[in-house]
Amino acid sequence: MALGEIKASYVVLVLILLSFKAKCSSPFRARRVLTTDDVDTVFDVTNFGAKPDGKTDSSLEFIKAWNAACNSGKKAKLFFPQGTFLAGEVVFQGPCNTTTPIVIEIQGTILASTDLGLFTRGVWISIENVNGVLVTGEGTLDGQGGSA
Ligand SMILES: *[C@@H]1O[C@H](CO)[C@@H](O)[C@H](O)[C@H]1NC(C)=O
């Protein structure tokens, strides 16, 4: 089970050079099991227009969902349901005013766009100025190896 806690003000999560399997090689140490009681408000990326069809770039929709969670002032979970999402460079920016660290739950697959031009900063998904994040779920972050 991929479950971890990051306590850092600047965290770069995923490098495009590595195909990252959240399921089996999470770099984050598991500390405790999350229950649904831990989270008050779920921000499902599909409610913000993200399309789990494997071909529509959902980068902006991910950021919209993150911003809503980040500025909710409550407990918040950013939720990626089943399906395959495509994303280019995504920066989840803080600071957030949630009452607890935001939970990022990934059930589906997030694929890096293979269009190199989308990655201006050399990272795929990064989280900046956020005071703690929990990553959980059975899903997959796939940077598509060196091709991304
Ligand atoms: C959290 O921040 C957002 C954006 O600045 C603001 O609209 C909202 O009222 C804040 N909520 C709380 C509970 O501080």
Q: Where do the structural domains in the chain lie, given as residue ranges?
A: 3-142
Residue 60: both structure tokens together: 């902006």
Distance from residue 113's CA to the centre of ligand 1 (Å): 32
| pLDDT computed for residue 104 by the predictor | 95
Give 56-67 pLDDT, tens digit per residue.
999 999 999 999
Predicted confidence (pLDDT) at residue 27 exceeds the cutoff of 50? no
**Average pLDDT over the chain, rounded to whole?**
77
| pLDDT computed for residue 145 by the predictor | 65
Label residue 37 by pLDDT band (50, 70, 90).
low
Ligand 1: nearest atom to the Cα of 73: 13
Residue 123: both structure tokens together: 């990272």
Residue nearest to atom 7 of ligand 1 (CA): 71
| pLDDT computed for residue 40 by the predictor | 72
Give 117-136 pLDDT, tens digit per residue.
666 677 788 999 998 899 99
CA distance 7 to 130: 9
Q: Is the entire prediction scored with pTM above 0.85? A: no
Label residue 49 by pLDDT band (50, 70, 90).
very high
> Comparing 50 with 114, which gets the higher pLDDT?
50
Query: If one looks up domain 3-142 in CATH, what number appears?
Result: 2.160.20.10
> In testing the pocket of ligand 1, which one of 43, 70, 97, 131 has its CB within 8 Å of the most ligand atoms?
97
> Does ligand 1 have an atom closer than 6 angstroms to the CB of 97?
yes
Distance from residue 124's CA to the centre of ligand 1 (Å): 27
Give 76-94 pLDDT, tens digit per residue.
999 999 999 999 989 999 9
CA distances from 39 to 32, 87, 119 (A): 14, 25, 32
Residue 54: which region, alpha, beta or left (left: phi > 0; alpha: psi -120 to 50)? left
